[in-house]
Structure 1
């Protein structure tokens, strides 16, 4: 228990009775995937960091001294990956809008301050820094009127994603001002209003028996009445989360209120690193009227070494699961890395000009001209994130790197550049090139 408590000083921990009583198989602890998903494990910290914390506790060091060590460990765990703080925060009237992110042209993320927690915490959470009490690491929006002002200045935005934390921890009356503020946009700026949430998995009663569940359904109905489309971006990690009567009832009620449910989650070791889990999950989602959307690669943050799965293995698991399901499940995309330049999917492993390569593709990009662009990285059997890959075929840089450098420099000067088409190393690979697929 001392080791688990030490991990809990560094990484957030929260669980509820639904997860404990309905989802965890206590006869299979500690190997049970939902237990691994929600309870801190000693190996989530490096042996050196864990030993230092245990030694400080044994020596009776002051709380302040322990807190300084905890802060040091947190800083080295890459609390905000993909340069979110540096590149994603938009600027309006010379002021950074700290509660918004605008990485891709079409989509703005909103972090309501009141939604910066969850019904339970995932041990692999890539936004763990939101929950550690370090104010300077927080994204948080205090003013619902910031969003419509920003949207009026950016008519290219078609999607707004409320995220956190989890916006579904907010009472309906607290969430409503953010929606009512959009009335001023009129009908000439229809939006898809997304809510990124794990509530269906961790507390489906949010949509059923919570005292304001009815008000929440009315809010989704009002979104549609304003000419927008409500969308639930449901985070599921394991098929067991989809098996209870409560989650089925909650999904049906959301759908009856006009919400479209899309399902996504990362592939992580100890939880869902096998094809059968993903195939069952996708089939169950379709049976419940939801849309399989993304398989993500777990981000390079927090206890990444504990959950790490090499890209080659991740791709094989995705392909095997994809081959077990019908076409209705194959709306899912992935495995996708939300990296600094954009969402990059592993499309395959191939041999090209006698070199083994990863075949990669931009699903989203900071520059829209990168989207749907196929490019190649040298095959690396142990690599688990894009930053660990190198260009293939003798290229010194990936095709987008000069453009990303430009975007970074312009962001530093608080400029908003127009998208520019870039050319790069893969332009010279034409239809006559011999490309032999390996997997």
Structure 2
């Protein structure tokens, strides 16, 4: 698979995933083989990738319509000069919109909710999405990434209030299978854990990985001990391909439940038609539409990806009118510092929110209803 014709016709179900990673596009010079940039844009893109690196698998490059400069797939993976904007009309930005720093227990363990521990298992992803809310970590060395799994395991085992663990990152499915095996099977031995979740965009951006039999054997083996939930991240219906659908089928065959967490993104899925196609497409491959996140006020992301909340509510309401019961089950969510907030709608110019998770020590906030005046351009709420 050395030439363009070869790799675009590749059988990704039979490709060595480790070798294929070496073919990822990781520099502006490599990117120029797939798009045309002016000299000025090229210079600015080199500044962009100093802040958030490029990493795009060939499989995902093959989903892009090269005749459309505004292609939504391209928008999610190509760096943009818009990423140089750090202030603007949408409001303030932050590098830590979800409040990870406040709940960092060290060694990659985040403990925001009493019953859930999140382990930042790796800083590496198969693809570095341009809308990533953990972009300060992904692709870079960070103190917030797991260094010693034994220490993380001891923390989890020592907190019996933790009933479930999320392996996140980065993307934990990009860890070598033996490493992932040690993590999962060690968690399986902790009696007070009811289930484990893995958050991964691999089935979307690099389904090649899912065709390693050792991986699916591991997932099935773990699922025989404790229920396994996989949270995928499809944002657009064109990401649902025969290859990604087959990767999903393999995970489902392991007994795992698969839920999708999408993000509402300007220029990607910001119409009712986009959302209807996405939710229906997910149901068609056996994935549950679960969350649709409001794009977070992330520095170098907010001002070109975030949609004002009023517009987002209108888009979601219109999409739900054209979806069946299973398609409408997703929640439109703000992943706020105070906890997860479901966006219920608007009344008399006010946004109606319901808090569905509260931080440790703030039990009184759980399940509260919140109504707040909302400016037409507001993309976030302050609590």
Compute the TM-score of the two structures, normalised by the length of structure 2. Answer: 0.83
Aligned counterpart in structure 1 of residue 133 of structure 2, from 123, 126, 146: 126
8 Å CA contact 1:144, 1:181 repeated in 2: no
**Relative to 1, partners in 2 of residues 1:339 and 1:40: Cα closer, same or farther, differing over 3 Å?**
same
8 Å CA contact 2:125, 2:139 repeated in 1: no
The alpha-carbon deviation at position 267 of structure 1 amounts to: 0.5
1:311 is matched with 309
1:11 is matched with 52
Structure 2 stretches lacking a partner, 5+ long: 1-41
8 Å CA contact 2:118, 2:165 repeated in 1: yes
In 1, Cα distance between equivalents of 2:180 and 2:50:
31
Give the secondary-structure state (helix, strand or coil) at the position aligned to 2:136.
helix
Q: How many correspondences in the alignment?
A: 336
Aligned counterpart in structure 2 of residue 294 of structure 1, from 291, 294, 303: 291
1:35 is matched with 74
**Relative to 1, partners in 2 of residues 1:378 and 1:167: Cα closer, same or farther, differing over 3 Å?**
same
In 1, Cα distance between equivalents of 2:86 and 2:179:
43
1:57 is matched with none
In 1, Cα distance between equivalents of 2:233 and 2:139:
21
**Relative to 1, partners in 2 of residues 1:132 and 1:181: Cα closer, same or farther, differing over 3 Å?**
closer
Deviations 1:90-143 (A, max 9, x none): 3xxxxxx2310011122110012xx311111111111101135353xx411122
8 Å CA contact 1:145, 1:178 repeated in 2: no
The alpha-carbon deviation at position 320 of structure 1 amounts to: 1.1
Show the 5 A alignment for 1:33-432. Answer: 33-46=72-85, 78-85=94-101, 87-90=102-105, 97-112=106-121, 115-131=122-138, 133=140, 135=142, 138-186=143-191, 189-208=192-211, 213-226=212-225, 228-242=226-240, 244-303=241-300, 304-334=302-332, 336-351=333-348, 356-366=349-359, 367-387=362-382
- Higher RCO (CA < 8 A, seq sep 6+): 2
The alpha-carbon deviation at position 268 of structure 1 amounts to: 1.1
Give the secondary-structure state (helix, strand or coil) at the position aligned to 1:221.
helix
Structure 1 stretches lacking a partner, 5+ long: 50-75, 91-96, 388-397, 399-439
8 Å CA contact 2:166, 2:197 repeated in 1: yes
In 2, Cα distance between equivalents of 1:234 and 1:219:
18
In 2, Cα distance between equivalents of 1:339 and 1:327:
27
**Relative to 1, partners in 2 of residues 1:275 and 1:121: Cα closer, same or farther, differing over 3 Å?**
same
Report the structure, 1 or 2, having the larger helix content: 1
8 Å CA contact 2:331, 2:343 repeated in 1: no
In 2, Cα distance between equivalents of 1:147 and 1:331:
34
2:35 is matched with none
Computing the radius of gyration over CA atoms, which structure comes out larger, 1 or 2? 1
Give the secondary-structure state (helix, strand or coil) at the position aligned to 1:248.
helix
The alpha-carbon deviation at position 34 of structure 1 amounts to: 0.6
